[in-house]
Amino acid sequence: MTLLVFGRTGQVATELARRAPDAIYLSRNQADLANPAVCAAAIDHHRPTAVINAAAYTAVDQAEEQEQAAYRVNADAPGAMARACAKHAIPFIQLSTDYVFDGSGTKPWRPEDPPSPLNAYGRTKLAGEIAVRAPGGTHAIIRTSWVFSAHGTNFLKGMLQLAQSRTELRIVDDQIGGPVHAGDVAAAALKVAHALRSAPENAGTYHFAGLPVASKQDFAAEILDRAGHHIPIHRIATTEWPTPAVRPLNTRLDCSTFEQTFGIVQPDWRDGVDSVLRELS
């Protein structure tokens, strides 16, 4: 399989490179998602057997003031990629987010549940999903949750940095989700890319997150405990920690159809935390 990946230095792209070193990885200098036509041209040029888009505008708070720029990267560019892939009958894998939901209730969100994003980032990612489906090509949209790794900026690394300078922490405990290691997301995306080549009828929208379900406070406590940082963590409500972008409270994801279709079991995110801590040390 000749795999083309948009993205080179992000969390998932870095993990993809470890698992598929022979794939073609396009950096921003080679294919800037702010220029969708260039992205489509790259697919026309390379004619791969599968494409994974592992690049995105992920600055959630910044997107509130830069929604147009986020839309260009998160919606226009994936749409252009999807059209090029459909033209050449190439399976296309698009990574999306739990932030397409409004976070109401307590039940895990199913792929078919109606999305209703609360913030600009979620709106642009939802627009990207719509654009990817529009050409009618073979595709898989994989919504993930709370991705972490040893690379880039993420919640786990943020907690470790805070633990070095604080004597106590205040972490929200009413945002609930399923953290997932970027390596597990990369492995899942690769398996789906292979599977869709022989079974295009399995195209669609899927969820993939880690287990067990946890609050941000639970996640933080587990990270610091496993890292040997024993400092008090106080539980607070999201309303006590306002941010420019509204965060959904319930981002539990029902991943059953993903497992049934591709045989990919939800990973234990605590194993991922241990893996990251080993790498960082």
- Phi and psi based region of residue 25 (left: phi greater than 0; alpha: psi -120 to 50; beta: remaining): beta
> Is residue 53 helix, strand or coil?
strand
Q: Do the beta carbons of residue 233 and residue 169 sit within 8 Å? A: yes
d(CA 89, CA 198): 12
Instruction: Just list the catalytic residues.
Output: 121
Q: Which residues contact 205 (CB under 8 A, 6 or more apart)?
A: 96, 111, 112, 129, 140, 141, 143
Closest CA to 4 of 55, 53, 38: 53
Q: Hey, what are 173's tokens?
A: 């405990």
DSSP 235: E
